[in-house]
Amino acid sequence: MSAARATVFGLDVWGVEPLSLLAGAAAAPTGRRLELSSRRGVGRAPAERDGFELLWEQLEPDGTVNMRVEAHPDAGYLLWGPRYGSHFLSADGGRVSCVADGAREQDWQRMLIAQVLPFAAVLNGLEVFHASAVVLDGQAVAFAGPSRAGKTSLALALCRLGAGFLADDVLALERDGAGLVGHPGSALAGVAREEARRLASLGEVLGANARELLVRTPTVATPAPLAALFFLERCTDGPDEPRFEPLTDAGMLLSATFNFLLAAPERLQGLLDVCARAARVRVERAIVGPTVDASALSAVIARRLRGSR
């Protein structure tokens, strides 16, 4: 009987035991139930492997596999990596079975949160953007951009100015009336080590790698209407004062999605609709140079959103 529950990315995740990296998720239930099971095993059973076809893979510089996504016409999807275990996701996004495959608890749970649950959210009719987000004055403000653009650092800097933390790196969006609402993610943030050195207090550090620290960061409890989306562009020759320009390239909105693998016509139609709705809010490019840190940029954005100069 499932007992533990955490609501993240608009999904009510139910399992027999609570997972350490899902602890602290405080969002209210949405009614989209996802059953989670896990076991400590080594290797994928042939019955689980047969019939799966490769959709996508990410390779290490030496050519070995870092992560792979496979699909089965009936069973659903398999997301796995040598360091992250195997995660079997049903075709309807209602069940996920995680096999540690010898992976550390921190690593397979991180894969679950960073990749598997966002994939499940899309299967459940939501859309996911590769973005961090906060709630400022009751409205969601999102930050998209390439890796290391400073999305998380900027979100945390705005939280120091009084915003609420909504999501790190993956923002689940749901159509609501004519607009969009952003759902709280997990209560985690991957903080770059350089940024961590500048912060006096980080909260509970749950793990680390060469690039970042994994920090417990409580989220807001309820979804919030999306009011603004900034695309961060850090340029070595960028301005010392942040420059903002209206986004005119619709392709950038489409490229913000976190999942290009699900390409059924109904999903693509939903993605286009979500992008069209997002285009109706404040969408801007934020172009900054190397001397502009997260604290300075957060202050400028907060003033800009609140209408002061």
Q: Which residue has the higher pLDDT, 231 or 258?
A: 231
Task: Report pLDDT for 200.
Answer: 56
pLDDT above 50 (res 46):
no
CATH class (in words) of the domain with range 129-305? alpha beta
Task: Report pLDDT for 204.
Answer: 82
Task: Report pLDDT for 116.
Answer: 97
Mean per-residue pLDDT, 158-162:
92
Q: Which residue has the higher pLDDT, 200 or 275?
A: 275
- Integer Cα distance of 288 and 236 in angstroms: 9
Residue % of the chain over a pLDDT of 90 = 67
Q: Which residue has the higher pLDDT, 4 or 286?
A: 286
Task: Report pLDDT for 47.
Answer: 44
The tens digit of pLDDT for each residue in 184-220 reads: 999 998 877 777 666 656 678 887 777 788 888 889 9
Residue 246's contacts (CB-CB under 8 Å, 6 or more residues apart) are 283, 284, 285
pLDDT above 50 (res 252):
yes
What is the DSSP code string of the chain?
---EEEEETTEEEEESS--GGGTT--PPP-S-EEEEEEE--SS--HHHHTT-EEEEEEE-TTS-EEEEEEEETTTEEEEEETTTEEEEE-TTSSEEEEE-TT--HHHHHHHIIIIIHHHHHHHTT-EEESEEEEEETTEEEEEE-STTSSHHHHHHHHHHTTPEEEESS-EEEEEETTEEEEEP--SEEEEEHHHHHH-S----EEEE-SSEEEEE-PPPSS-EEEEEEEEEEE-TT--SS-EEEE---HHHHHHTBS--S---HHHHHHHHHHHHHHTTSEEEEEEE-TT--HHHHHHHHHHHHTT--
Task: Report pLDDT for 48.
Answer: 52
The tens digit of pLDDT for each residue in 86-119 reads: 999 999 999 999 998 889 988 999 999 999 999 9
The Cα-based distances of 281 to 74, 95, 209, 226, 227 in angstroms read: 39, 34, 36, 7, 5
Task: Report pLDDT for 163.
Answer: 96
Q: What angle do CA 107, 113, 114 make, to 5 degrees?
A: 85
Q: Where are the domains of the chain?
A: 4-124, 129-305
Instruction: Give the best-scoring range by mean pLDDT among 14-18, 149-153, 269-273, 293-297.
Output: 269-273
pLDDT above 80 (res 38):
yes
Tell if the pTM clears 0.85, that is, is over it.
Answer: yes
Do the Cβ atoms of 124 and 11 come closer than 8 Å? yes
Do the Cβ atoms of 124 and 270 come closer than 8 Å? no
Mean per-residue pLDDT, 68-84:
93
Task: Report pLDDT for 215.
Answer: 86
